[in-house]
Amino acid sequence: MTNTECNDIVKRAYAAHNQTLLRASIADVNKVWFDLLGEFEETVVYNTFLELTTYSVYMPTPGNIRKAIIEKQVGRIPTGLAAWGTLQKLARNAHSGTYEDIPVHPVLKMTVEEVGHQAYELHTNGDRELFIDTYMKVCERYQREQLKLQ
């Protein structure tokens, strides 16, 4: 997206929420929006803005828009409990010798690598808490990496 296209999106965003874009801050606002969203296509940015605007009372920030675009591209990260359930299903299949094509999010793969080979042996409530704590830390690192500016 070009700087001019980004400036147009900023104007439309402020207009959509009946916000006044002050002359003194126009350059700064446009720069921040371009810095965070300039690597994406104009239509992707604007369509994501419209989606977020439809479901939110407040105007989405460029950071919220960036996060939503990346989430669409990468896929939503499963919750800790959902990841635990997937791990348990994988472990059951491995132990019974059956194969089932189960989609595994990269964060779950990274967590299993971090926990080590004993990940497939976890089954108690304490094990679940350990796994979910580790999963949440890995999830934070993954999100920070995904949201980095290109």
Q: What pLDDT is recorded for position 150? A: 58
* pTM score: 0.73
Average pLDDT over residues 131-149: 90
Percent of the chain's residues with pLDDT above 70: 99
Percent of the chain's residues with pLDDT above 90: 68
Distance in angstroms (rounded) separating the CA atoms of residues 77 and 105: 7
Q: What pLDDT is recorded for position 29? A: 95
Q: For residue range 24-40, what is the model confidence (pLDDT) as tens digits?
A: 999 999 999 999 999 99
Q: What pLDDT is recorded for position 129? A: 94
Q: For residue range 51-103, what is the model confidence (pLDDT) as tens digits?
A: 999 988 899 999 999 999 998 888 889 999 999 999 999 998 888 888 888 88
